[in-house]
Amino acid sequence: MLSITKIFTFETAHRISSYQGACQHIHGHSYKLHVTITGEEVGEDDMLLDFKILKQIVKDVIVDPIDHAIMLKRNEVNERDFGKMEEKIFWMASEPTAERMLEWMANQLQQKLPNQIHLKRLRLFETENSFAEWEK
């Protein structure tokens, strides 16, 4: 089994509305996302998947929708306080914790990867020394 990993960076703000503490307020992170895919064999081009193709998929389904956005749980309070803002808001069904963000990312990527390629691992750094990981 072969694997490749590509690393992405993006800026996103969020708030954890159900949290009692500093994270209940809007704040931002410089996220770093490691995307690892795997497959049984390389193709005719001698690659598992061209890094350029992986980059485009991740950019389209993950980075573009949330980069420089405010991620919020869709609930009554957030919709009232932020719903009329003329800002880029990405609404989630759950609180935008690193763990829930990874679940959303994994779902998005698994739908877009070629059939012979499988998502193996996602590692999302919220800070330089704090990350969450999704693994199949």
Residues known to be catalytic: 23, 68, 126
Q: Residue 27 annotated as binding?
A: yes
Helix (H, G, I), strand (E, B) or coil at 35: strand
Between the alpha carbon of residue 30 and those of residues 11, 36, 69, 101, 131, the distances in Å are: 5, 20, 12, 14, 12
34 annotated ligand binder: no
Q: Does 14 show up as a binding residue in the annotation?
A: yes
Q: Please tell me the distance from the alpha carbon of residue 113 to that of residue 61, in angstroms, as a whole number.
A: 11
φ, ψ dihedrals at 39, nearest 5° = -165, 165
Sign, CA dihedral 106-87-30-10, equals positive
Residues of the binding site: 14, 27, 29
Residues of the binding site for Zn(2+): 14, 27, 29
